[in-house]
Chain A
């Protein structure tokens, strides 16, 4: 017989109730009269307001989102430029062409690609630490818990999901605040479905090229689809996967009093959490980027369309044909596994325009060469939204779940779901006569 069966309630709930019963007894013996209202009580009137609680939470989340990605952007640019110049400098010093390209594009490009994630991650954890140390984060989880309950998620899942709109890496990392392992893993698994900001340039490129006057609506649909899929998939996983099935973990939350966060503790929290990104994920991300560089640069001296990556693209082409993507689409998606930003640059390289080519120029060639129709372009956007998250996110998922099983599951279900949705779009669209 389990503890729950004996108590008739979850042990955590029983312990919390008993603790507060004892506290109540002691207080009634020690204090007389009515309890004075504290500043925390007054603030809770607004922060936990039935109608305003969620809007306040969304406003503060929006502020955290802007702080994480906008305020840190100049530091990311600085790192990007510094590594780019370091690469140029290193290649000018090395005589051998292979080694010079390896150091410049592979090591410096790869390392720069990893380190640009550091500012937003540290800024995110600084903001989260501020909210946590002030006592608000516990209230935020309490406020949104009810809304997420029908989808099998809990209050603390909301922050990781919303942060995913900026970047899935901090989104997945923010799931650490969820104590229940089951809820934490479920939140991590659906996080890649939240469309990160890196996917936006792909939507803009393809929608602008093939959707014409409906381009904005096409991009907006991707955001809508992202939210619907994340909640729906959480619900499906909860219902179908035995690990997630069963009673929902009790959501017991002791609301701490509000406090003024100190800079020292906030910075310490930020450092403790942020440094893990460098220690744990840096190696995986870095190695992944090096491997792809090797694949895209070999056979040495061959043009891109004869590289191993292009060979792979042609091997994948039959799989993507039912979706209307040719080998260039397949290779762009493959490069997108490294970082979604690379997809736009990949198309530019295919057209011989260079990575710095304007978006209008790339869109013109996409239309002229008939790479996508409005329907296949929309399917490509949906596929980009759903399929494998970038290599950095996969690395972080592995580190955060500490499970190769869940990491592979995320990659495989993402691919399968992306294929299914893209195929549905192409098939239904085709039946409706959409070109």
Chain B
């Protein structure tokens, strides 16, 4: 939900440099949660091995947080490139 709100916030300042900040943080959060849930899946697998219980790996890797990262990359790359092109024309400024 927070990631979604960040994307929405980025559209309100679209074509302004501020939107890059929101997009960057949204992607960063997506990456954090994707890596986190991959780590949890791995840890659950190891835990099952240690305690001798069955590991429900399908449940672990089907977490939406893991699959949220790939779709969030294209908008970031596009907006970043766009910003870099705009930066060449006029440097980032608070004015």
Interface residues of A in 209-235 (CB under 8 A from B): none
Interface residues of B in 4-63 (CB under 8 A from A): 5-6, 9, 17-18, 20-22, 24-26, 29, 32-33, 36, 39-40, 43-44, 46-47, 50-51
Complex Cα spacing A71 to B39, Å: 6
Q: Are B50 and A77 in touch, CB under 8 angstroms?
A: yes
Q: Are B21 and A43 in touch, CB under 8 angstroms?
A: yes
Which residues of chain B are near A47, meaning CB under 8 Å? 25
A47 CB to nearest B CB, Å:
6
A184 CB to nearest B CB, Å:
28
CB-defined interface of A2-46 with B at 8 Å, one 1/0 digit per residue?
A: 000000000000000000000000000000001111100111111
Q: Are B18 and A42 in touch, CB under 8 angstroms?
A: yes
> Does any Cβ of B come within 8 Å of A70's Cβ?
yes
Interface residues of A in 61-76 (CB under 8 A from B): 63, 66-67, 70-74
Q: Are A52 and B6 in touch, CB under 8 angstroms?
A: yes
Q: Known contacts A34-B94, A42-B21, A78-B50; is A63 also within 8 Å of B39 by CB?
A: no
Q: Known contacts A37-B17, A37-B92, A71-B43; is A60 also within 8 Å of B29 by CB?
A: yes
Which residues of chain B are near A67, meaning CB under 8 Å? 36, 39
A282 CB to nearest B CB, Å:
23
> Does any Cβ of B come within 8 Å of A315's Cβ?
no
Complex Cα spacing A71 to B91, Å: 43
Complex Cα spacing A13 to B25, Å: 31
Main SS of the interface on chain B? Answer: helix
Interface size on A, residues (CB 8 A): 30
Complex Cα spacing A156 to B92, Å: 32
Which residues of chain A are near B91, meaning CB under 8 Å? 36
Which residues of chain B are near A81, meaning CB under 8 Å? 50-51
A335 CB to nearest B CB, Å:
24
> Does any Cβ of B come within 8 Å of A256's Cβ?
no
Complex Cα spacing A63 to B36, Å: 7
Which residues of chain B are near A43, meaning CB under 8 Å? 21, 24-25
CB-defined interface of A48-66 with B at 8 Å, one 1/0 digit per residue?
A: 0100100110111001001
> Does any Cβ of A come within 8 Å of B95's Cβ?
yes
> Does any Cβ of A come within 8 Å of B2's Cβ?
yes
Complex Cα spacing A47 to B39, Å: 25
Contact of B93 among A37, A60, A71 (CB under 8 A): A37
Which residues of chain B are near A74, meaning CB under 8 Å? 43-44, 46-47, 50
Given A37-B93, A47-B25, A52-B6; 6 other pairs, CB 8 A cutoff: A41-B92, A45-B22, A46-B6, A46-B21, A66-B36, A77-B51
B residues adjacent to A (C-beta < 8 A): 1-3, 5-6, 9, 17-18, 20-22, 24-26, 29, 32-33, 36, 39-40, 43-44, 46-47, 50-51, 91-95
Report, nearest first, the 4 A-B pairs whose CB atoms are least far apart.
Answer: A37-B92, A42-B21, A45-B21, A74-B47
